[in-house]
A = this chain, B = another copy of it.
Amino acid sequence: MGLTAEVANYITSAKFEDFTPNAVFAARHGIIDCVACALAGANEDLTKILVGFAQDTGSGNSGSTLIGQNMKASAPMAALVNGAMGHALDYDDIARPFKGHPSVVCLPPALAVGEQVEASGRDVMAAYMIGFEVGCAINTGMGVDYADDLGWHPTAPVGTLTAAAAAARLLGLNEQQTAMALSLAASNACGLRENFGTMTKPFHAGNSSRGGVTAAMLVKRGYQAATTGLEGRFGFMHAFSGGRGEDVNKPLEHLGKRLFLEQPGVTIKKYPCCGSTHNPLDAYFALRKDKKIDHRDVESVDVLVDFDPPRSLIHADPHNALEGKFSIQYTIAAALVDDKVGLGQFEGDQQVMRPEIRALMPKINMRRNPGYEGKPSWVEAYNEVRITLKDGTVLAQGQNRNFEGPVVGVTPQGMDMKFRDCASKALPAAKVNEALEILHNLETQPSIAPLMSAVSGR
């Protein structure tokens, strides 16, 4: 049996009980975080445009809820809008083996299809967890250039397969149909890093969710595709790896044998900006604990990172909030000036244009840890911030990436706080509480309809 068929076998046969309490704990965090981020992104400009597009292209009044919009649409359209909304602020979770953002390509498809088929909370969670494991497993077999050199937004191409896995599971596709849905999704995947720092980065998450749902729905209706879309000579892994270093045997070394959700689990973001800024920001705030730093005293800042710049942080001179999210210069400058990096630092394009920010940005240099240039990303897991003050003082702080699972970056209390903070941007307080209560008990819900009603914005 080939890889696509084996993956399809896993998707159709995995059970909720296969997931350990730690894995379910991680999944719950990923799901709560994803809904939180979607609600926080519900009023963003890009969301409004997509909602208008959904209305005008005739998808209104189907059965899948658009989060925070008082509106339903077809499942593919809901997956598109909710996925983009969940990624709008770049505040959503990360999984290291996924090399990107798992929940925005696992949950929106699971919710959109789950609502159509009247699934239980447990079934939706299972689809989410299965999508998560499939995405991580496939990623282990992708060549290094998939995430590094070629320019793919790693969340997106594999994310389309992830979304197809979740949707196929909930639609009850059999093994062969699931293999076809994966192959069809493989032909409907994309996302280029050149669009980072624009509305199109969040579009990638939504479009991957949409593409996976579309693939599964079409196959459910009898549409046919290859059953070798992943491993084939002209399939996904070869094409998206640029023909360099893909290993079609690797995914099955992991899938169903270890749980990525358990180790390394999910990382919940503390800062609403590109994940590649997080270690440097952690290093900065660790430094800051011991000593107040006045940004006017700063002569220069060196940021050592564990990838060859620019990779994701492609905006050294950002001119608007979205570009600022993909700028080590802006995020470190904001930390220096504002002493925090939260939603407020990205509200309005004028934030990145403040004179004190613009004075600092040219002083901030990003480079790779010496000796690692040209090597794959994610190998060092060590970042460092070195601040040289005008009086010659050097303040330096290293930061290792935290590999402990299953949930990194947030405490349970912190998760609830983040949810309330984000959700309050789109929901009244009573609905915030109702949604959070349901999310904490998702696996016991006979239907996800009450959850969708609570987050619908009605």
Cross-chain contact B195 with A226 (CB below 8 angstroms): yes
Q: How far is the CB of A176 from chain B (nearest CB, A)?
A: 12
Determine the chain B residues whose CB is within 8 A of the CB of A236 once the complex forms: 192, 194
Tell which of B192, B203, B234 touches A223, judged by Cβ atoms closer than 8 Å.
Answer: B203
Task: List residues 45-81 of chain A with CB under 8 A from any CB of chain B.
Answer: 45-46, 49-50, 52-53, 56-62, 73-77
Q: A59-B58, A59-B59, A74-B57 are in contact. Are A150 and B238 (CB under 8 A)?
A: yes
Cross-chain contact B192 with A234 (CB below 8 angstroms): yes
Q: A145-B243, A200-B225, A243-B242 are in contact. Are A74 and B50 (CB under 8 A)?
A: no
Determine the chain B residues whose CB is within 8 A of the CB of A45 once the complex forms: 222
Determine the chain B residues whose CB is within 8 A of the CB of A50 once the complex forms: 218, 223
Q: Mark A206-232, 1 if CB is under 8 A from B, else 0.
A: 010000001001100111111011001
Determine the chain B residues whose CB is within 8 A of the CB of A386 once the complex forms: none
Determine the chain B residues whose CB is within 8 A of the CB of A75 once the complex forms: 57
A186 within 8 Å of B (CB atoms): yes
Q: A200-B183, A200-B224 are in contact. Are A58 and B52 (CB under 8 A)?
A: no
Cross-chain contact A49 with B194 (CB below 8 angstroms): no
Chain A residues within 8 Å of B, Cβ to Cβ: 45-46, 49-50, 52-53, 56-62, 73-77, 145, 149-153, 156, 183-184, 186-200, 203-204, 207, 214, 217-218, 221-226, 228-229, 232-236, 238-239, 242-244, 310, 314, 322
9 closest A-B pairs by CB: A151-B234, A242-B242, A57-B74, A193-B234, A194-B232, A194-B235, A200-B225, A194-B234, A58-B59
